[in-house]
C-alpha cells in the first residue's frame, strides 16, 4: 500500500487538476440534516461533514431509470449513454464496500456490461467518516476499507493521509506530484492511530451479524414476521436507499409514430406487491411478511453463504428512512431476542390490548 500526505489547503487545487473531462460527484448539503451526491463544478459546494447521503452511490453507477437498448424489429442496439467519465469524491467506507459487493454480484456467472462499463469509467475517491447512533458498519466489518477505491482520504486536522488503492489512483497523484508529501512523520502515524482508536470507540451499535444466518433459518416461522408484515407499508423506501439492493424491472417503452422502442431498466423493490407475480395472476409472495422475509434472507443470510459476508454494509440508511422502523437494526435485534422500541412493536401491543 502506498500512502502520501496532502495539505488540506491544496485539496481544491488537486481536485481541479483531476476533474477535467469528468463529471465530478460529491456530497452536497440539501437541508440541515440531508445530504446527497450531486454533480458539481464549484468545489466550495462540497460538504464532507456528513454521515450518510439520502441515496447511495449506486444511483451514479446505474441510474434509477436508464436505457438498455434502442430496439427495432430487426435490431437491438445497446445504449450506453448512462456511461461517462466520472469521479465520486467523499464516499465513505460502507459505500465503498457496497460497490465491492456489487462488483462481485454483477460479474457473477454473467457479466453485466451496463454496470461494468459505468464502474470502469468511475474513479472512487473515498473519505473518512465519523459514526452517528445509526451506523452499524463496525458490526458488518465495513468501517475500514482495503479495496474498491482509487484514493482514500483520511482527515487529520490540517492534512489528509491519502491511501493509494489502485494504479489509476497512482496516476492521479502523478498529475501533480509536488502537492504530495511521501514522508509520513511519527507524529502523523500517531495522529492516525489515535483517530482510529477514538473512532472505534464512537460506535454505539453492536449487532451480532455472525448469528443471523442461523437465526433467519430457525425463526423463519416466527410471529415477528407477522408483526413486521402488519406494519410494513410496502413503499420500497428501504430498497431504494440500500446501497446493495440491485433488483430491477425492464420496460419496453414504444416510441410513438415509429416502429421502435426504448428498452429501459429501472429500480424495482422486492417489497412491492407485484414483485413475484407472474402472468396469469399467480403471485408467489402476496403477503408483505413473505416479501420482508425475502429482503432479510437476502441481506442477513444468503449473501453470507455466497460471498462470505452479509449484504448489509451498516450504512444505517434503512434505519433513518423506514417510516415504521423496519430496518436491519430492529430486525436483527429482534431476531437476537432483544426488545426494541419500534412503531411495529407498539402497534402489535395496541392490537392485542
Partner 1 sequence: MNGENKIKAPANPFQPEPARIVRTYPLTDDVNFFQIRIADMEKALSFQYQTGQFAMISVLGAGEAPFSISSTPSRPGLLEFCIRKAGTVTNALFQMKENDLIGLRGPYGNTFPIEKMQGKDIVIVMGGLGAAPLRSVLLYLLDNRDQFGRVLLLHGAKRPAEMLLREEFFSLKEREDLECYLTVDEDDTGEWPADVGLVTQLFKKLGNINPENTFSLVCGPPIMYKFVLKEILKLNIPKDQILMTLERRMKCGVGKCGHCAIDYIYTCLDGPVFTYWDVIHMRELI
* Binding site residues, partner 1, CB under 8 A: 68-69, 71-76, 78, 105-106, 108-114, 220, 246-252, 254, 259-261, 263, 268, 270, 275-280, 284-285, 290, 294, 297-298, 301-303, 305-306
Total count of residues recorded for the chain: 353
**Toward partner 1, which CB reaches closer, 197 or 217?**
217
**Toward partner 1, which CB reaches closer, 134 or 303?**
303
**Toward partner 1, which CB reaches closer, 102 or 129?**
102
**Toward partner 1, which CB reaches closer, 207 or 270?**
270
**Toward partner 1, which CB reaches closer, 204 or 274?**
274
**Toward partner 1, which CB reaches closer, 14 or 303?**
303
| Residue 305 and residue 216 in contact, taking contact as beta carbons nearer than 8 Å | no
> Treating both helix axes as pointing N-terminal to C-terminal, what angle do 288-297 and 223-231 enclose, rounded to 10 degrees?
110
Distance separating alpha carbons of residues 36 and 34, to the nearest angstrom: 7
Distance separating alpha carbons of residues 238 and 143, to the nearest angstrom: 21
Long-range own/partner contacts, residues 271-277 (CB < 8 A, 24 or more apart)? 271/232, 271/234, 271/235, 271/236, 271/238, 271/239, 271/295, 272/234, 272/236, 273/234, 275/247
Distance separating alpha carbons of residues 315 and 52, to the nearest angstrom: 7
Residue 132: CB minimum distance to partner 1, A:
30
Residue 155: CB minimum distance to partner 1, A:
36
Long-range own/partner contacts, residues 44-50 (CB < 8 A, 24 or more apart)? 46/89, 46/90, 48/90, 48/127, 48/155, 50/90
Residue 327: CB minimum distance to partner 1, A:
20
Classify 30 in phi/psi space as left (phi over 0), alpha (psi -120 to 50) or beta: alpha
**Toward partner 1, which CB reaches closer, 191 or 262?**
262
Residue 37: CB minimum distance to partner 1, A:
23
Residue 109: CB minimum distance to partner 1, A:
6
Residue 281: CB minimum distance to partner 1, A:
8
Distance separating alpha carbons of residues 232 and 348, to the nearest angstrom: 12
Residue 278: CB minimum distance to partner 1, A:
5
Distance separating alpha carbons of residues 141 and 313, to the nearest angstrom: 8
Amino acid at each position: 500500500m502506498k500512502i502520501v500526505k496532502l495539505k488540506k489547503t491544496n485539496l481544491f487545487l488537486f481536485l481541479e487538476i483531476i476533474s477535467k473531462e469528468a463529471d465530478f460527484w460529491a456530497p452536497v448539503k440539501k437541508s440541515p440534516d440531508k445530504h446527497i451526491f450531486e454533480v458539481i463544478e464549484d468545489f466550495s459546494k462540497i460538504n464532507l461533514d456528513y454521515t450518510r447521503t439520502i441515496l447511495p452511490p449506486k444511483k451514479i453507477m446505474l441510474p434509477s431509470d436508464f436505457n438498455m437498448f434502442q430496439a427495432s424489429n430487426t435490431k437491438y442496439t445497446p445504449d450506453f449513454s448512462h456511461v461517462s467519465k466520472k469521479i465520486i469524491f467523499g464516499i465513505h467506507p460502507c459505500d465503498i464496500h457496497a460497490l465491492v459487493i456489487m462488483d462481485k454480484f454483477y460479474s457473477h456467472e454473467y457479466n453485466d456490461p451496463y454496470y461494468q462499463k459505468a464502474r470502469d469509467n468511475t474513479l472512487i475517491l473515498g473519505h473518512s467518516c465519523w459514526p452517528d447512533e445509526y451506523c452499524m458498519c463496525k458490526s458488518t466489518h465495513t468501517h475500514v476499507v482495503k479495496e474498491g477505491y482509487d484514493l482514500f482520504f483520511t482527515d487529520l486536522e490540517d492534512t489528509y493521509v491519502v491511501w493509494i488503492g489502485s494504479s489509476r489512483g497512482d496516476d492521479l497523484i502523478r498529475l501533480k506530484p509536488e502537492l504530495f508529501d511521501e514522508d509520513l512523520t511519527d507524529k502523523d502515524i500517531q495522529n492516525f492511530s489515535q483517530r482510529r482508536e477514538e473512532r472505534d470507540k464512537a460506535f454505539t451499535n453492536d449487532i451480532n451479524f455472525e448469528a443471523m444466518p442461523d437465526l433467519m433459518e430457525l425463526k423463519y416461522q416466527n410471529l415477528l414476521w407477522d408483526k413486521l408484515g402488519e406494519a410494513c407499508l410496502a413503499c420500497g423506501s428501504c430498497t431504494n436507499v440500500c446501497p446493495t439492493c440491485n433488483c430491477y424491472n425492464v420496460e419496453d417503452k414504444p416510441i410513438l409514430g415509429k416502429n421502435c422502442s426504448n428498452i429501459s431498466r429501472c429500480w424495482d423493490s422486492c417489497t412491492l406487491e407485484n414483485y413475484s407475480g407472474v402472468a396469469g395472476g399467480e403471485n408467489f409472495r402476496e403477503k408483505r411478511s413473505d416479501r420482508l422475509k425475502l429482503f432479510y434472507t437476502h441481506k442477513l443470510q444468503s449473501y453470507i453463504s455466497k460471498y462470505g459476508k452479509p449484504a448489509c454494509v451498516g450504512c444505517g440508511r434503512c434505519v433513518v428512512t423506514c417510516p415504521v422502523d423496519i430496518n436491519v437494526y430492529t430486525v436483527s435485534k429482534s431476531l437476537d431476542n432483544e426488545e426494541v422500541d419500534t412503531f411495529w412493536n407498539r402497534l402489535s401491543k395496541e392490537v392485542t390490548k
